[in-house]
Amino acid sequence: MSQLWNLLLLQPMINGLLFLYQLLWKNFAFSIAILTVLVRLITLPLTLPQQRSAKVMQELEPKVAKIRKRYAKDRERQTKEIMKLYKEAGYNPMTGCLPLLIQFPIIIAFYQAIYRTLADNPLQMLSLAKYIYAPRLSQLIPLESRFLWLNLARPDPFYILPILVIVTTWLSQKIATPPSTDPQTASMNQMMQIYMPLMFGLLTMSWASGLAIYFVVTNLVSIIIQYFVNKYTTLGHKKLRKRR
Amino acid sequence: MDIGSKKITLILIAVLLIACRGRLPPENWPGLTVSEGTIYVTPSDGKVYALDMETGEKIWEFPPEDEKEIGPFYSQPAVGHFVFVGSYDGKLYALSAETGERKWTFPTKDRIFASPMVEGGVIYVVSGDHRVYAIDADTGEMIWVFETGNWIWATPLINGERLYVCSMDHKIYCLDRATGKKICDFTADGALAGKPALARNSIYFGSFDGKVYSVDALNCEKIWDFKTGNWVWGEPLVVGDYLYIGSLDGRVYCLDLSNGEKIWDFKTGGMVRGGVAYYDGTIYAGSEDGKLYALDANTGREKWTFFAEASIFSKPVVANDTIYFVSQDGRVRALSARSGEEIWAFPPIE
């Protein structure tokens, strides 16, 4: 299993980072940023349904609220009518988390790739030797890990990146989560919007700053994609218009 | 996203955070030195031990049990006036060889991975701060310092009044030992992480470009190079007209010293990171596959192997018909150099 992981995910990412490092004036921060954008573009078919679903939910919310009100005393009927509404709208509630399930291995592999490529002690360097395809890329080792005030292999000493991670994660959550009239959903949304940014921000305080750059860039990409999704996605379904 | 999806998201985030946990503590890389009946070793537990060479019994440990742990210690100890060992905390420690008592420390600005080199009352230590320091071995006072372009992970080599330093900036430097002034340098195509070797006015060393190099010891001009299948990290060993070296491609190579032509190679089951040892017609090499190999020095034919159950990344040492090595699990072993039979192990195997 681990060989498959290395072959399909980890090794291509490590070599991708090294290749970009060679192209981008031996700047590892740029390599992380560009590879993040490329990975997000490649996984766009998987993540777009999730980001569209937020917009669709926003449009369906008033109708869902009406159904909840109408069948307040009949939970079973309420659920049945809501699921029917989703089906007519072509909305699948599971689209919220399935793309995330698929993205997770990519995120974990990217994390491992950044750490391995920034090897700064002999045992880590030894491990890196197994992953590099071409001798030409070996000539880049060790990488220049300094970028502005940062050592990309170490946490940000001034906590600027963790703050950026908190802010961009919050923004990304905010733009992707429509307001809800259901108290339980609203409460869960609020919790996500507070705790998730804080959690990531706190963790990036102890992670290599290269990884924090990955999180900031991936959040910015999410925000941009969500902006265009919100602008251009509508339901436009005949049956739903009739339901109004 | 509905509530169910949000709950799943939170669980997945928790999994992600566990999978992407913050950096693990650095792992040690054991080193071993034999001197006057005593083995000095830095295994995986962050300490330095002195062991009796015959029995493996512990003589002392540093720091003592009641003191806070220092390290971990990556570098192999060097023995001169005192026992000198560099640490992950960036300090060079001078310890009494008899008792392990700390005599002095010298701070550098980054971690020390390489073993220091002692000669003529001066100790030469290299550091991750890109510098090589010359220090008075008795007092710990700095004599001079020379800065390279990147980390230095390789023990320097002394040749008369010259000092050779391999740096991760892809260069080997030849310095004046008294003043630290640069005499010449040579640039390879990859980082240099292993200690060089000297023979017949030539310097031999391996590189992360996969090559073994021979350069002139006086003017640093290249004489020849030999390409292996992966990085070359270990210290070359010169015996007679031959050079022996391991590569991360898993092979031990025997090369002609004069022109770098391959005489033979032997494939192990994993990377050969450390240097090799020689005794009575036999080459000894440790491998990532957990085995210590004994090979015929003339033909490369395998004589015997010993399975240590953990990778061997350090160079073995031969003394008194016995081969000593430390594996990645921190266990020190003494084997018969002829048969490979185990004589003792520290800590003892229960």
Domains of chain B: 1-106 (2.40.10.480)
Distance CA B12, CA A168 (A): 20
The CA-to-CA distance between both ends of chain B, in Å, stands at 57
Minimal C-alpha gap between A10 and chain B (Å):
14
Distance CA A92, CA A69 (A): 22
Distance CA B252, CA A91 (A): 62
Query: Cβ–Cβ of B1/A53 closer than 8 Å?
Result: yes
Look over chain B and give the mean of its residue pLDDT values, rounded to a whole number: 91
Q: Which amino acid is at B130?
A: H
pTM: 0.84
Pick from A196-200, B255-259, B286-290, B317-321: least confident = A196-200
Which tokens go with B106? Answer: 């010298």
**Banded pLDDT at B330 (limits 50, 70, 90):** confident
Closest Cβ opposite residue B4 in set A93, A111, A177: A93
Q: Cβ contacts (< 8 Å) between A104 and chain B: which residues?
A: 12, 15-16
Residue B334 DSSP SS3: strand
Distance CA A59, CA A112 (A): 39
Q: Cβ contacts (< 8 Å) between A111 and chain B: which residues?
A: 19-20
Which tokens go with A90? Answer: 């072509």
Interface check B73 vs A, CB under 8 A? no
* Mean predicted confidence (pLDDT) in A99-112: 77
Q: Is the pLDDT of residue B11 over 60?
A: no
Distance CA B319, CA B296 (A): 18
Q: List beta partners, residue B322.
A: B319, B336
* Mean predicted confidence (pLDDT) in A145-165: 92
Interface check A189 vs B, CB under 8 A? yes
**Banded pLDDT at A239 (limits 50, 70, 90):** very low
Interface test with chain B among A53, A188, A196, A205, by most B beta carbons within 10 Å? A188
Cβ proximity of B278 and B244 under 8 Å? yes
Minimal C-alpha gap between B149 and chain A (Å):
11
Cis omega (within 30 of 0) on the bond before B72?
Answer: yes
**Banded pLDDT at B339 (limits 50, 70, 90):** very high
Residue of A nearest to B72 (CA): A121
Enumerate residues 2 to 61 of chain B having a beta carbon within 8 A of any beta carbon in chain A.
2-10, 12-13, 15-17, 19-20, 22-23, 26-29
DSSP code per residue over A134-162 = -HHHHTTPSP--EETTEETTS--TT-HHH
CA B326 vs CA A187, B27, B42, B45, B53: distances in Å? 58, 15, 9, 13, 13
- What pLDDT is recorded for position B23? 40
Minimal C-alpha gap between B251 and chain A (Å):
14
**Banded pLDDT at A182 (limits 50, 70, 90):** low
Helices of type H across A43-182: 44-70, 75-89, 98-117, 122-129, 135-138, 160-176
Enumerate residues 63 to 122 of chain A having a beta carbon within 8 A of any beta carbon in chain B.
93-94, 96-97, 100-101, 104, 107-108, 111, 115, 120-122
pLDDT (tens digit per residue) in A123-138: 889 999 999 988 889 9
